[in-house]
Amino acid sequence: MKGYELMEANQVINRTRRAFPFVLSVALMCFLTLAKMGAQVTTADIVGTVTDPSGAAVVTGTATATSLATGEVKKVNLSGTGTF
């Protein structure tokens, strides 16, 4: 009976050794997919300068940005050089 049990144990070990690269590959793909998903950014910066028709900077006022997707509105005051 011992020979049969030993052969069965060796078969289990061989199956495990053959399956290990596959399991490792699947785990690595899952890790890389999750890492890439975490890198998604949902914010942005908008910068610019407000000028009048002659090209001079508008030094007082506000700049308004509206999200077309959500309708969210953000207003900022212009700096002394017309930038926002």
The string of pLDDT tens digits covering residues 6-57 is 667 777 777 777 778 888 898 888 888 877 766 566 777 888 888 889 988 8
Verify that 28 and 51 share a domain, yes or no. no
Same domain, 47 and 36: no
The residue assigned the tokens 């890790």 is 31
pLDDT at 8: 77
**Whether 35 and 57 share a structural domain:** no
- Cβ atoms 33, 45 nearer than 8 A: no
Q: Do residues 24 and 47 share a domain?
A: no
- C-alpha separations of 34 from 27, 31, 37 in Å: 11, 5, 5
| 66 pLDDT above the threshold of 80 | yes
Range of the domain at 34: 1-40
Residues ≥6 apart with Cβ < 8 Å to 58: 50, 51, 52, 78, 82
Residue 73, CB-side half-sphere exposure with 13 Å CA sphere: 4
Same structural domain for residues 52 and 77? yes
Reported pTM: 0.45
Residue 3 has pLDDT above 60, yes or no: no
Identify the pLDDT of residue 39. Answer: 59
Q: Domains in the chain: how many in total?
A: 2
Where residue 4 falls among pLDDT bands split at 50, 70, 90?
low
Q: Can you give the pLDDT at residue 74?
A: 92
47 and 84 co-located in one domain: yes
CA distances from 24 to 14, 28, 33, 35 (A): 16, 6, 14, 16
Q: In the prediction, which pLDDT does 73 show?
A: 93
Within this chain, do residues 49 and 80 fall inside the same structural domain, yes or no?
yes
Both 71 and 36 in a single domain? no
Do 29 and 47 lie in a common domain?
Answer: no
